[in-house]
A and B are shown apart, each in its own frame.
Chain A
Amino acid sequence: MNSLSAKNPFLKTQMSFSGEKLAPYLFILPSMLFLGAILGFPILYSVVISFQKYNLETLISKNAQFVGFQNYVAVLSNPTFAVALTHSLIFTFFSILFQFTIGLGLAILLSKPFPLSNVMRGILLSGWQIPSVVTGTIFLWLFNLDYGLVNFLLTSMRIVNQPIAWFFQSNTAMVAVIIANIWLGIPFNVILLSAGIVGLPEDVYEAATVDGANGWQKFVYITVPLLRSTVGAVLMLGFIYTLRVFDIIWVMTKGGPGIGTEVLPTLAYRLSFINFNFGQSAAISVFMMVILLGAAVLYLKFTLSEEEL
């Protein structure tokens, strides 16, 4: 059946000309429709909800009333929002600071092959795909008041006299969730920064060596400037991925004690699924979405200015 068109190449090109133009769209159509329905539509829908009085009652009656900016006003004047925003910024800042610094150090260590370097890389990435619920549970145990490894190390090294009740005060609870999140994010930073370092031109370093530059000078004057776009991209992605962290905090503290580790995602979740105030929750979502969109645009600027996809 197919041999007919193969024997007559003219026929084939004629017939498939318009088909060939349409073909790629037909191939991507299922994915487009799917992502549009499950990702695109919800995003737009949450914008709509953010302008509605949407609660348990409306969820059942499916008849929500438009209330203008009322949800936004309510959210912004709610003191918890300011607390959650501050926590989000603290959580994101310290997570990224350490993830990035440690990740960069490890990426530089792994940048030249040495015996076992592949094994080491495997080990340093081993936690990457572990579900964050598991990570949260492990750190909950590590930070346990009476029997946790962390308190044992701190007291036996005489850094503290008394075991710390990590999850009973907001400051220490925040430290615990940040440390868990740093651990979680290291592989990601190592991978992306390694890719950037491997892509650096070898000859520039050779020329610098000939000119008598030492390791530190090479790092400051060659590696740092050449890595700038990679660093920018990694930091922006890190920001996007850290600002949205929910699982690990919900598992370890549920935003507590009180609102001690409440961040924007946990607040949005609480408003929806515990207070059933979907409208205000959606308003927070939209607020976060705008910030994330800005970060995404910056990220794309960092990656696209250099080369095409």
Chain B
Amino acid sequence: MIRQRIETYARLTLCIIAGVIYLMPLFWMVSTSLKPLDQIFQKPPVLFPSSPQLESYKSVLGLPSKEPALYINTFVYFKNSLLIASWTTLLALTLAIPAAYALSRFKFRGQTAFLLFLLVSQMLPSVLLVIPLFVLFRILGLYSTYSSVILADTALALPFAIIILRTSFLQIPDALEEAGWIDGGSRLQVLWYIILPLVRAGLVAAGVLSFLTAWGEFVFALSFLPKPEMQPVSLGIFQFIGMYKSNFDTMMAFSTLVAIPAVVALMFLQREFVSGLTTGSVK
């Protein structure tokens, strides 16, 4: 009994130490973003800002702020990311729902091959895709359009979305669907009115992951979107560190705002994300 208790506390202690070290970069990001300028350059560094201020956030969001005005309009980056990520989510889910449905409800030749294809396509490095896609998009006249990034981001998000949704579909008993057919529904009607409402959690997880993929994507945007007014937040930060090397509070405020959707999503959807990743790779 006592041994077990000691073990439990040892685990907890080690985990807390590991957690503190692991969280340090994120903590430092938020802490820096809240510091007044003099505390950023203070030695020894201040862990918790004594008088937290939101000036850097106001500056990033283009609100009136005590900080010197930025030359780049950071707000536009958020608008662009929202647009790109929303379209990517919509497109990825539209394509993923029927594919995941087929993988969970039918036995067909080539099923395993299709799953393998999905697994392997997740492994393709976007930096290798970007070169031929650049040439292709130029030929198709899609270079420097939102569509180019949306299409490429969807290709990154789709395999994982299908795998997550397939897992959710597999949990719905066949009997439920058959009952729908007996009542006279067609396959598509039953899918739409009976199955989809039941896999809401899976849809949300797949949707959010697709959204986050596009939200943080860097290489495609870097290569296909030369116009600053069309670029997403990932490029915004990249431009920012090039232009304002020592505005650490604003830089970290910008980073925090970009990171928030990812951290919040993980808090609420941890289980779904994890199950998608493990069915997709190890199990």
Question: Hey, what's the 0/1 contact readout for A120-156 against B, CB within 8 Å counting as 1?
Answer: 1111111111111111011111101011010010001
A127 to B151, alpha carbons, bound, how many Å? 26
Cross-chain contact B15 with A131 (CB below 8 angstroms):
no
Q: Is B159 an interface residue (CB 8 A)?
A: yes
State whether the Cβ of B182 lies closer than 8 Å to any Cβ in chain A. yes
In the bound complex, do residue B12 and residue A2 qualify as a contact, i.e. CB atoms below 8 Å apart?
no
Contact stretch, chosen from A68-76, A90-98, A240-248: A240-248
Chain A neighbourhood of B44, CB < 8 A: 152, 156
- A158 to chain B minimum Cβ distance, whole angstroms, is 14
Which single member of B98, B273, B282 contacts A28 (CB below 8 Å)? B98
Question: Does A114 count as interface, using CB distance less than 8 angstroms?
Answer: yes
Nearest CB in chain A: distance from B93 CB, A: 11
Q: What are the residues of chain B within 8 A of A259 when measuring CB–CB? A: none
A269 close to B130 (CB less than 8 A):
yes
Contacts of A230 in B (CB 8 A): 282
Query: Which label, helix, strand, loop or mixed, suits the secondary structure of the B interface?
Result: helix
Q: Which residues of the other chain, A, contact B12 by a CB distance below 8 angstroms? A: 114-117, 120
Number of A interface residues in the complex (CB < 8 A): 102
Do B25 and A139 touch (CB < 8 A)?
yes
| Contact call A45/B135, Cβ cutoff below 8 A | yes
Among listed B53-61, B66-74, B260-268, interface-contacting one: B260-268
Interface size on B, residues (CB 8 A): 107
In terms of DSSP, what is the predominant structure of the interface of chain A? helix
Complex alpha-carbon distance, A120 and B17, angstroms:
10
Contact A122 B125 (CB under 8 A): no
Binding site for A on B (CB under 8 A): 7-8, 11-12, 14-16, 18-19, 22-26, 28-29, 32, 40-41, 43-45, 94-96, 98-99, 101-103, 105-106, 108, 111-112, 114-121, 123-136, 138-139, 151-152, 154-155, 158-159, 162, 181-187, 189, 209, 212, 215-219, 222-223, 233-234, 237-238, 241, 248, 251-252, 255, 258-259, 262-263, 265-267, 270, 273-274, 277-278, 281-283
- Beyond the given pairs A138-B28, A147-B41, A247-B218, 10 more chain A to chain B contacts, judged by CB atoms under 8 angstroms and listed by A's residue number, are A3-B184, A35-B158, A49-B131, A124-B18, A134-B216, A144-B248, A195-B283, A247-B234, A265-B127, A268-B131
Closest A-B pairs by Cβ, 5 of them: A131-B216, A244-B125, A27-B102, A42-B132, A24-B106
Residues of A within 8 A of B (CB): 2-3, 5-6, 21, 23-28, 30-32, 34-35, 38-39, 41-43, 45-46, 49, 54, 59, 62, 105-106, 109-110, 112, 114-117, 120-135, 137-142, 144, 146-147, 149, 152, 156, 183, 186, 188, 191-192, 195-196, 199, 230, 233-234, 237, 240-241, 243-244, 246-247, 250-251, 265, 268-269, 272-273, 278, 281-282, 285, 288-289, 292, 296, 300, 303, 307-309
